[in-house]
Amino acid sequence: MAEQAPVTDQAQVPPEASVLPRRISARRGGMLAAGALALTGLLFAWQAWFLDLGGVGLPGPGFFPLALGLLLVVFSAAIGVDCWLARVKDEPVEFGHPQVLITFSALLVVPLLFEPLGAYIALGLLSAALLAFIARASLVLTVVWSVLGMAACWYLFQELLGVRLPIGPF
């Protein structure tokens, strides 16, 4: 019986079906990013419109999300126009870096942990994850900077702004 050559993963997957990162044109990538940011800003502004906007002297809970949403729409429109009118050579760029996916994943977990663990622990875990997986900081530096960041968040919100964030089980 004839011996068969071992099948490798590269022989099974065509080069066109490679995983991330993927190459796209810089112009198209800029337009897609500007569109995604504009949609996010519109969503923020739309939802903030239903909240109390307050007055000039005392802004309500909807004022800053509305202002930030509208600013996001304006700046993303400027990015989109700049990409559309760009006369530079349209070189391919890579889309889908693992660091970006790690960051988005960590940011999506924070709201889930905000109430059960408390704001400071959730934000400390976010900073620890970003320092460990994105910045590749040592364990000691990750712990030190996460604790300092949690203390800074507490001081900013509790002491300076007088806002009480969820404290969790501790």
Domain boundaries, the chain: 21-96, 97-170
Residue 134's Cα: distance from chain center in Å?
Answer: 13
Give the predicted TM-score (pTM) of the model.
0.57
The arithmetic mean of pLDDT across residues 62-69, rounded, is: 91
Q: Which residue has the higher pLDDT, 7 or 169?
A: 169
68-92 residue pLDDT tens: 999 999 999 999 998 888 765 677 7
State the DSSP H helix or E strand holding residue 94, giving kind and residue range, or none if neither.
Answer: strand 92-95
Q: Which residue has the higher pLDDT, 29 or 40?
A: 40
* Predicted pLDDT at 120: 93
CA distance 155 to 23: 44
The residues near 169 (Cβ < 8 Å, ≥ 6 apart) are 116, 117, 118
- Output the DSSP codes for 97-122: -HHHHHHHHHHHHHHHHHHHH-HHHH
Write down the mean pLDDT value for the chain: 85
* Percentage of the chain modeled with pLDDT above 90: 49
